[in-house]
Amino acid sequence: MESVTVFAGLQPNPATAHHQTLGPSGSLIKLLPSLLTDKRHFCAQPLKLQQSRFASFRVNDTANTVPVASPTSNVALELAEIDWDNLGFGFIPTDYMYIMKCAQGKNFLNGELQRFGNIELNPSAGILNYGQGLLEGLKAYRKHDGNILLFRPEENAFRLRTGAERMCMPSPSVEQFVEAVKLTILANERWIPPPGKGSLYIRPLLMGSGAVLGLAPAPEYTFLIYVSPVGNYFKEGLAPINLVVETEMHRATPGGTGGVKTIGNYAAVLKAQLAAKAKGFSDVLYLDSVHKRYLEEVSSCNVFVVKDNVISTPAIKGTILPGITRKSIIDVALSQGFQVEERFVTVDELLDADEVFCTGTAVVISPVGSITYLGKRVTYGSEGVGVVSQQLYSSLTSLQMGLAEDKMGWIVELK
């Protein structure tokens, strides 16, 4: 064993040969050369090392250990060439992605960073033929002091493991998940927006990548993480959105997979969502598939209704995704003296509410300006964002961005 000095600010190089590097905890990770030939995907801006600053890790003796971005680094970083003031919520290719594989019945081992690019799949892969796959979503924020903040990444890891059990898939441990997220962020640090300009959206995927012809779990699985800098999910930003209640199509059914973040849940909402947007609505609010009168979710968000000092949200009962932002907003609201109820919420209560808002990783909080149900349009408030929505949004985003003290213990800081 020897002590290896790790420099911050590795500039990705497509021509680099295979080598090894360090994860945030000192584990050796392979760093592979570029898989891309289309150079338009990258802004080849170098990382400028203003001063040498080091972090020491204990690693196995190897002649191939190379400099990588370090979480204890204090180097001035040159950001990617992006118009940060006009950053929307769309995919922007970055430098690296993380990949780890395992066979059915085995454990995930030996993850590696690869240059971002297309992946190869057998046409008979389980993900392509039978939809055996899960996704997650979380964000990293840059503070004014240069530190990077993650919001409750272990919750995403737990949710992935729950979904994997439902979908008959092995999954990384919580520790492996969080470690891989950290490593991917640090490898793509120059793509994290400046403070107040957005966030780095992190998309972990778990998929059946092995070939399977008959209906059965895939023989091999791939865990992959890629990232993209993002701005607001809705073009309105923190401004009221307009929803329509869908009465014919449903997002999920009892006994199905609505309660886990499987890929098929999202393809199923596209038809209703496209139809709603064609009519000028921002998104769709779904009802339960049995009684068709209880609220469930918006396409990719949880929903809350406010009446007086009571905040109500549909209970988690197998057809609704247990959102991490949802869970966090409930705790923040309780800490601020609101009464919060998780229960069946009817359409009638929705239409009679003082305020309505949605929550999710991408949107954080999105206030609802109007609901249209069976042709009847109900509006909420006359001054834009509701008082409760604004209060909770400010509280949670201040915490996520490091502008408020983390009394909840939710923030993971990469220094």
Q: Which residues are catalytic?
A: 261
Other CB atoms within 10 Å distance of the CB of residue 382: 6
CB burial class (10 A; 0-12, 13-18, 19+) of residue 16?
A: middle
The whole-angstrom separation of Cα 43 and Cα 403 is 30
Contacts of 153 (CB under 8 A, 6+ apart): 138, 177, 178, 181, 412
Ramachandran assignment for 364, one of left (phi > 0), alpha (psi -120 to 50 degrees), beta (any other): left
CB 116, CB 228: distance < 8 Å: no
- Residue 357, both tokens: 């808002």
CA atoms 184, 186, 191, 194: torsion sign:
positive
Compute φ and ψ for 281, nearest 5 degrees: -85, 155
CB 99, CB 222: distance < 8 Å: yes
The whole-angstrom separation of Cα 362 and Cα 87 is 14
CB 186, CB 24: distance < 8 Å: yes
Helix (H) / strand (E) containing 340: strand 339-343
CB 402, CB 149: distance < 8 Å: yes
DSSP 185-231: HHHTGGGSPPTTS-EEEEEEEEEE-SB--SSS--SEEEEEEEEEEE-
Candidates 177, 192, 93; CA nearest to 134 is 177
CB 108, CB 223: distance < 8 Å: yes
Kind of pairing between the strands at 301-307 and 310-314: antiparallel
- Residue 127, both tokens: 């993900």
Cα angle: 214, vertex 215, 220; to 5 degrees: 85
CB 393, CB 364: distance < 8 Å: yes
